[in-house]
Structure 1
Amino acid sequence: MKLSTIVKAKEHYNLLVLGAGAGGLAVSSHFSRTLPKGNVGVIEPSSVHYYQPGFTLVGGGIFPKSHFTRKEETLMPSNVTWIKDKVGKILPEKQVVETFDGKEISYNFLVIATGVQLRYDLIEGLEDGLAMKDNKVISTYSPETVEKVYNAFQNFEKGKAVFTFPNAPIKCPGAPQKICYLFDDYLRKTNKRKNAEIIYNTILPRIFGIERYSNVLTEYAKSKDIHVNYRTSLSKVDPITRVATFDILNETMQPTGEIKKIDYDLLHVGPPCSPVEGLRNTAKNNDGLTDKIGFVDVDKNTLQSKQYKNIFGIGDCTNFPSPKTAAAVSSHFKTIKYNLQKVMDGGNVEPLYDGYTSCPLVLSSNKCILAEFNYDGPIETTPFNQSKPSRLAFIGKAYGFPMLYWDYLLKGRWSGPSTIRKILHLGMSK
C-alpha cells in the first residue's frame, strides 16, 4: 500500500468525501462531529436525495415518489463544506480530486462514496423505449422513470409482461423480481391475471444468489405461474415492434451465440450499472485505485484501498463481492468509521466487514422475505425463519427501514443490525 505525498491545492480538506448518498452522508455526518469545523468537504452535484430502496414500492403503487424524496440541503451536515460539483478524476498520487468544473481539491484522507451510474445506454434501443409515451418499456430504478411503472400496470389489460435482470453489475439485485411479484399481485387484485403471461429473465443460474432464499422464491414464482428463464441476458429492445432480444449465456456468463426473441406488451428492465464517469476516468490512470472497470479496489474486509492507506471506499462504488444494497452501507459505515479513525491516529486497520448485506424481497403489497447474508451465507437478525414470507418483514421494509435510513444512517448513527442480532440470539456470535 502507498501513502502519497500531498500536493497542496487551492482548496484543501483533512477529510474529503466524494458523494452524499447513503454512505457519503453517514461518513461525513460522523466525522463532522469528531473533526473541527471546516475539516470535512463533500463533493456532491445533486440537490435532491432519494431513498432508492423505496422505488419498488413506488413502482407498485404503494407510495408516491415524494414519500422517499428529500432536499439534499436538509440532510447535509452543518459542519461540512458542500462542493456542488461532479468528480472528474482522482489523482491519488497527488492526493487531489479534479472536479468537472476544473477545481483541484486536495485532501489528507479520502472516502469514495459515488455510487453507481444507471447505464440504460448499454442496451440497444432501451433509452428510446423508455422515452416513448406508450409506457410499454419501464424501469423502477431511475427517479425519471419510476412513476411511470404503476401507470403502466394500470394500463395493462392483457398480453405478455417480461421482467429482466442484467448481465452486468446492478444495485439492489432483488429489485427486478420484486416488481415482477408486485405486478402479479396487482393483476390478481384487479382480476386481470388470467389475461397475462409473466416472464422473468435472469442471467443467474438460479432466481436468487443465496440458496436458502432462492429455494423459497423458486417455489413462489412457480405458484404464481411466473415463468423463469435462467442465463438469459437482454441485449436489444425494439420499441416499435415490441420485441426484446436476449443472449443465451454459458456457465461463465458469456454469450453462447444463441439468441432468443420475445415479443412483449410490457417490458420492465433492471439496468446495467457502471462506476460513475469520474471513476471511469480515474481507471484510465492505471494507478491501482480502481479496477479496470472503475470500481474502487478495496480490501473486502477493511474497505481500505489496496494501494493507498489514506483512501477508503463505501457502498456501490467499490468492488467488494457482496450485492450492492443500502443495507450493506450500514455495515460498511461501521467498518470505515473505525478503520479511518485508526489510520488518522497512525494505527492499523482491522478486518471488520464480514460481507453483510440484506435484501427485503417484496412478494406482494403486504408480504416480504427478509433475506440477510454475508460472505459465508445467511445471517439473520431475528430468531425466526426469515425465508418465510411475512407481514412483519413488509412493515419493516415499508416503514421501519426508511426511518432508520433518514433518521439514523444518514446522520451517522446507524451501523447495521449486528448488536440487535446478538441480543435477539442471546449473545451468540451470529
Structure 2
Amino acid sequence: MLRKQITGKYSVSGQISLDDVNTLAESGITLIISNRPDNEEEGQLAFADIAAAAKEKNIKAVHIPFSAGQMQSSDIEAFKEATKGSENIHAFCRTGKRASLIWEAANESSQKAKVNSVHFDVVIVGAGTAGISTAASLLKRKPNVTICLIDPASDHFYQPGWTLVGGGVFSAEKTRRNMADVIPKGVKWIKEAVDTFQPSDNKVTLGNGQEVTYQFLVVAAGIKLNWDAVEGLSETLGRNGVTSNYRYDLAPYTWELAQKLNTGKAIFTQPPMPIKCAGAPQKAMYLSCDHWFKQETLSNIDISFYNAGGVLFGVSEYVPALESYIKKYQIGTHFSHNLVKVDGPNKRAYFETKDGNDQAVIVEAEFDMLHVCPSQTAPDFIRNSPLVDAAGWVDVDKETLQHTSFSNIWSLGDVANSPNAKTMAAVRKQAPVVAQNISDSIEKRQINAIYDGYGSCPLTVEVGKIVLAEFAYGGVVMPTFPKWINDGSKATRLAWILKKDILPPFYWHGMLKGHEWFVKPKMRK
C-alpha cells in the first residue's frame, strides 16, 4: 500500500488489502473510508471483508462508492457526515484519486476556492459551432430564457476554412474571431472549464470550484485531437516536414511544405473513425497535388495515402469521382494502415497493418512531407462523466438528440454519439432541433423535432472544383440542390463557390446568429 498523507489526520491510497488494515490500525487510524464500488475489477477485495477486518481492530469502516468522474453531492454530504468529529482517517479507491477529490470537495481548505453557485434556465457546455448556434437558435424562440455558455477558450474558429489555408487559398487569420465577439447578445459567457457533471442534481462544477445549476443542459464540448496516440508525433509537429490542417497554427505549414516540395515523397494519413470531417485528410492531399500538378512537378513526387479504414469514402456514390482524382494525381492508396509512430528527424512513418496471415505487422515508409490526421476521442472530462456510452461519447437519441437517461439534457456536435458524420453541416441541422425541443420542453409540450442524420463534406479535389457529398443516416444521399446545380458524381465549380465564397460569411453572419436558412427542423408525423 502506497500511502499519501493529505493532512496530518487524513491519508489516501489505492486498493488496500487485509494486511493493510493491520498496518493502518498500528498507525492509529480510527476510520477507513472506501470510495470504490465493489466489483469494479476482477479479483477486487469486497468492502464487507475490509469492514469485518477493521471491526476486529476497533476501526470504523464506511462505504461511499462512486465511479471515476461521477461524484455526486450526496457522496460529498455522506463524506462530511462520516468524517465529522473523526480523527486519523484513511480513504482509498483504485488509485487514491477519488479519495483525494472527495476530501477536496468536502473541505473549505480545498485548493479550489468556494464560489457561490449561479443558476440559468439553460446551460450550454462548449462555445464552439454547436454551442453558439444552439444558443442563438434558442434565443430566437425564447428571447427571455436565461442562457449560459461555458468555455475557457479565448478564440472561436471557422475550422472548415483550415483546409483552404493548407491549400494557400485562405489566410489563417481569416478563420479566427475573438470569442467575446461571437457570443450571442443576452447570453452569459463563463470563461472556465467544466470539471464534473452532477446530472442528478442539475449541476455542473467548474475548474475554479464554482457550481452552475440549470433547468436544461446542452453538452456541445466538441472533440479531442489525440496527438499523443501516435508515438513521436507531438514532438515533431510543425517541423521536420510534419504538419496537419487539423490545427490552426499548422495549416499554414502545410501550404509552406507543398510549395517547397519539388521532388521526394509525400504521405497523407487518416486514422480510424470517428473523426471530424472525414474528408479533410483527403482534401489536404488533393489540394497539395493540384499545386504540384500545376507546377508540373507532380511526376517527381511519390504520393501515398495511408488510410486506417478500408474504403476511400464511406458513401459509395461519391467514390468514382474521387477515384478519378486519385488516378489523375497518381496517388498510391494503402488501406487498413494505421499510423502508430513518427520519427521526424529521420523522416520515417510507421503504420500498423496485417499480413497475408492476418497477423499484425509494422510497415515503415520514408517521407519528405507528412500530413497527419490525429485519432480523436471525446474530451477527458466528458469521457469521465456519467453522461456517456461505453465508447465515451454522450449518449443521446439519434433523432431528438435528447439524452437517453436524463430527460433535461441534450447533446449535439462532435461529442454526441449520434451515428452521423461529424461535420459543421451536421451541426447546422442539429442546432435547430435541440433549440426547438428545449423550447417545447420549457412549455411542457411533447418534443417532436427530429434530426435525420444529415451531413455534408465538400471534398476539395482541386482549386476551383469540389465534389459535394451530402448524405443522411445510413449513407443515404440527400442533396440540398437539384442535380443541375450540384451533381455529386463529379467535381463542380458551383460547389467550390459555395465552399469558398458563400459558406464562410453564412457561418459568421447566419449560423452563429440563429438564422436557420434551409435547416428548419423536421417534425415527427
- What's the TM-score, normalizing by structure 1? 0.90
Q: In the alignment, which residue of structure 2 is the partner of 1:383?
A: 482
Q: Secondary structure, in 3 states, of the residue corresponding to 2:421?
A: coil
Q: Choose which of 344, 355, 363 in structure 1 pairs with 2:461.
A: 363
Give the conservation status (yes or no) of the 8 Å contact 2:140–2:514. Answer: no
Q: Which runs of 5+ in 2 are unaligned?
A: 1-71, 75-115
> What's the counterpart of residue 164 of structure 1?
269
Amino acid at match of 2:434: I
Q: How does 1:265-414 map to 2 (within 5 A)?
A: 265-282=368-385, 287=386, 289-350=387-448, 352-376=450-474, 377-384=476-483, 385-414=487-516
CA offsets, 1:390-427, max 9 Å, x none?
111001011111122111111111254579xxxxxxxx
Provide the aligned C-alpha RMSD in A: 2.2
**1:29-40 to 2 correspondences below 5 Å:** 29-35=136-142, 39-40=146-147
2:196 aligned counterpart, secondary structure: strand
State the match for 2:305 in structure 1.
200
Report how far residue 265 of structure 1 moved.
1.0
Shift of 1:312: 0.4
Q: CA 1:306–1:243 in 2, change beyond 3 Å: closer, same or farther? A: same
Does structure 2 conserve the Cα–Cα contact (< 8 Å) formed by 1:38 and 1:80? no
Instruction: For 1:389 and 1:72, locate their aligned partners in 2 and report how far apart those are by CA, in whole Å.
Output: 35
Query: Which runs of structure 2 are paired with 1:99-138 in the superposition (5 Å)?
Result: 99-132=206-239, 134=240, 136-138=241-243
Shift of 1:220: 2.1
- Which aligned pairs between 1:243-262 and structure 2 lie closer than 5 A? 243-248=348-353, 256-262=359-365
The reply on whether 1:63 has 2:165 as its aligned counterpart is no
Report the residue type matching 2:491 in the other structure.
Answer: P
Quote the residue 1:27 is aligned against: 134
Q: In 2 relative to 1, CA 273–416 (structure 1 residues): closer, same or farther, beyond 3 Å?
A: farther
Q: Residues 249, 74 of structure 1: CA spacing in aligned structure 2 closer, same or farther, 3 A cutoff?
A: farther
Distance, in Å, in 2 between the alignment partners of 1:416 and 1:101 is 41
Correspondence for 1:210: 315
Distance in 2, Cα, partners of 1:320 & 1:53: 21
* Structure-2 change in CA distance of 1:6 and 1:403 (3 Å): farther
Measured against aligned partners, the alpha-carbon deviations of 1:122-172 in whole angstroms (never above 9, x if no partner) come to 11111112043x3x1000001121121111112212111000000242111
Q: Which structure would you say has the larger RCO, counting Cα contacts within 8 Å and 6 or more residues apart? A: 1
Query: What amino acid is aligned across from residue 214 of structure 1 in structure 2?
Result: V
Name the count of aligned residue pairs.
Answer: 405
**Counterpart Cα distance in 2 of 1:13 and 1:6:** 19
Measured in 2, the distance between the counterparts of 1:95 and 1:418 equals 29
Whole-Å separation in 1 of the counterparts to 2:143 and 2:161: 35
Describe the superposition over 1:59-105 as per-residue Cα deviations: whole angstroms up to 9, x where unpaired. Answer: 00011011111111111112111100112121111111111222111
Higher-Rg structure is 2
Read off the aligned partner of 2:344 and give its amino acid letter. Answer: P
Unaligned runs of 5+ in 1: 420-430
Q: CA deviation at 1:214?
A: 1.5
Aligned runs of 1:91-106 on 2, under 5 Å? 91-106=198-213
Q: Is the 1:248–1:258 Cα contact (8 Å) retained in structure 2? A: yes
Distance in 2 separating the partners of 1:272 and 1:230: 16
3-state SS in 2 of match to 1:245: strand
CA shift for structure 1 position 383: 1.5
Counterpart residue number, 1:232? 337
CA contact (8 A) 1:333 1:415 kept: no
The TM-score with structure 2 as length reference comes to 0.74
SS of 1:107's equivalent in the other structure is strand
1:313, distance to aligned residue in structure 2 (A):
0.5
1:192-223 Cα offsets, whole Å, 9 max, x none, are 21210111111222100000002221232122
Counterpart AA for 1:244: A
1:44–1:84 Cα contact (<8 Å) kept = yes
Task: Give the ranges of 4+ consecutive aligned residues of structure 1 lying more than 2 Å apart after TM superposition.
Answer: 30-38, 347-351, 414-419
Tell me the SS of whatever aligns to 2:494.
helix
Q: 1:229 Cα shift? A: 1.0
